[in-house]
Chains A and B, each alone.
Chain A
Amino acid sequence: MLPRKKVEIVVESLKVNRIIFELEEIGVPGFTIVGNISGKGANGVLDHNCKAKVFENTYIFTVCTIEQADKIVDYMQGVLQYFSGTCFVSDVNLFECPIKTAKNEIKNG
């Protein structure tokens, strides 16, 4: 089990492409995106029923190192100044399949 940080982001769908670009720049090993979500936050109910996508939210999560999580949080502070959404960071333990890990180690020399 590897200690890692889980970063969860709920943000306006229009901003997702830019955030994906940033996650890749930071070098996170992967991420999951759940689009077209509904819910209620500080800006009221978001019902994803808008053709302009401006009232639609998307959920993104990634599991990464502490350094990467810090970089994501720094970036999200700027985003959340103008765009509605939220960002959570929590401690998680990452289970890695032993065979997969051994294969990766061999592959990386």
Chain B
Amino acid sequence: MKFWERLGAIDRKIIYTVIGLAVIIPLVTKLTFPIRVSDTVRNAYNSIERLPAGSIVMISIDYDAASGPELQPMLIAVLRHCFKKNIKVILTGHWALGLPLGEIALNQVAAEYHKKYGQDYINIGYRPGYTALIVGIGREIRDFFSTDYKRVPIDSFAFMRRVHNYNEINLLVGLEAGATGDAWVLYAGARYGLKMFFGATGVSAPDLYPYLQAKQIEGILAGLQGAAEYETLINEKGTGTLGMPTQSVVHGLIIIFIILGNISYFVLRRKKE
């Protein structure tokens, strides 16, 4: 009996140490697991895959460094997919502290595919008040973004001269860590008919599923696993794929924790009775 009592009241620092080791060891030993691609990710992938070269995809950075490990690999994977297919990218963002993450990824992936700023992609930056912004872009993007991230007029870039509102944008990819995704669906999607899919953190992904079933969005990449699945589809390994074995080990550990905690609870409850 004492064993279960002690197990139930184990010091939290021991749990912390075990979790820390469960993250470090699989990373160092480079453990691998095959990645199964779910339909929700495959549908998202297909919505870019079927676009012809020269199409325009808008990517919205609606997260910051707090969810970077989950969403940054998605951004990199989606950018790789777009540039591979010669699709033009307009990057924007509604989370002020996250926007430089978009610029960092753009620079990295554009260099990999020899893409040129202003010709193949552009970063228009951030403006406050995302709901008003999303509705307003439906009429004219210049009313809010007459210049890019570095205050260069967007009309100085050839492909942007034909972009006025969502009519010229073929797809939106929203990378979501909060409620901005709802505004994209409610205003850009429902009012202006913009097609979209989301990459979302594990915390916000479940809330987006009702949109998926109602076909208001094309697909969801949920959490690091979503990133790993997208990386698998474009055949480019990234931090999503690298992180999943560790994620699996820690999930297994937490499940064992829950089982042990419950055994301890039931043994002690029976003893009390």
- Do the two shown chains form a genuine complex with each other? no
